[in-house]
Amino acid sequence: MKRNGILNSHISKILSDLGHTDQIAIADAGLPVPDGVPKIDLALKLGTPSFREVLNVIAEDMVIEKVIIASEIHEGNPQTLAYLNEKFDTQIIDDSQNHEQFKALTQQVKAVIRTGEATPYANCILQSGVHFG
């Protein structure tokens, strides 16, 4: 058994397999998952686990060079936007697409990690960076 870090074997494998610019999505309970994209479903009930809980654990284990969010988060979920702005350098946050465009981008991710989050637009796509050079 692992001593620390991510215990979920599916998430651990996905993160280990990421290369530079590969992407994963962290999703609320309602975001549709495109056909053919693996879904790692962590949702137990509405709100559990939360978007923040899952993102905090993933961010400890992943080099993140870009965070993509939907522009509707500004009005639809300012609390989550504030959390993202505190968590990440605002220079790496990309909010240039609307929610429909965001959903289209999820067709290219390596996996969608579904949380129990029940607030609007609590979704992000994380783009992998490198920890050298």
- Residues paired with residue 45 on neighbouring β-strands, in sequence order: 48
* From 10, 20, 74, 131, active-site residue: 20
> Binding residue per annotation — 121?
yes
Was 122 annotated as part of a binding site? yes
Confirm whether residue 27 is marked as ligand binding. Answer: no
Catalytic annotation on 10? Answer: no
Task: List active site positions.
Answer: 20
Binding residue positions: 28, 99, 121-123
Binding residue positions for substrate: 28, 99, 121-123
